[in-house]
Structure 1
Amino acid sequence: MVTEDDVRRVALSLPRTTEKPSYGTPGFRVKDKGFARIREEGDVLVLWVADEGEKDGLIASDPDKFFTTPHYDGYPLVLVRFSAIDVDELTELLTESWRLRAPKRVLAEFDAADG
């Protein structure tokens, strides 16, 4: 199970990431584009995915981990329960959401440094 501190540590380790409240809860942005936020419940993370097909696939593959609400219908955003993931999976999910939202130049720098 991950914690808010884990989310903050992993998110802020990604380049050009800042924390800024979003809807009154901790939100994380890359060059001012949101890529993750902790929902009001405090134990659910909102993340970007590539498209609604990926969102539907994640929810179908593990509904105890991934879910949505009507508020997110029509958006490539998925909800993730803290209790269902570990830090390694959190890192993977946050990094992928970050990659989807990062500007091309920031992403190229990240990939060059990683390769």
Structure 2
Amino acid sequence: MLSAAQVRRIALGFPEAAEQDHHGFPSFRVNDRIFATLPDPGHLNVMLDANQTFWSVQHYPDTCEELWWGKRLSGVRVDLGLAGRPMVADLLSEAWRRKAPSHLVV
């Protein structure tokens, strides 16, 4: 189980990551591009590509579900009550890499 504060520490640990309000809830950004949001204290939305999303849902079916924005698959919704720190850190790392400028990605 992870708290919103623990998620915040992980997300803000990536180079040039910043927290910004997004319609009344926290979003985590790099280069002004959202890589994750905390829509409520019990859930984390992580912006992944389709392959990463399908993999996450398949490997963590109790913790991850597909996240849709209208008709567009945008990532995974993570149940923080069931999630472990290593999994959340890995998902956030993948999302950060997708949004970060190339000079930051090693």
**In the alignment, is the contact (CA less than 8 A) between 1:52 and 1:74 conserved in 2?**
no
Higher share of residues assigned strand: 2
Aligned residues: 106
Cα distance, 1:60–1:44 mapped onto 2, change above 3 Å: same
Q: TM-score, normalised by structure 1?
A: 0.81
CA-atom RMSD in angstroms: 1.7
Q: TM-score, normalised by structure 2?
A: 0.87
| Structure 1 residue 27 displacement after superposition | 0.6
Alignment of 1:14-93 (within 5 A): 14-39=14-39, 41-49=40-48, 51-68=49-66, 70-71=68-69, 73-93=71-91
Q: What residue ranges of structure 2 are gaps of 5+ in the alignment?
A: none
Amino acid aligned to 1:4? A
Higher share of residues assigned helix: 1
Instruction: State the identity as a percent.
Output: 27
Structure with greater Cα Rg: 1
Alignment-derived partner of residue 12 in structure 1: 12
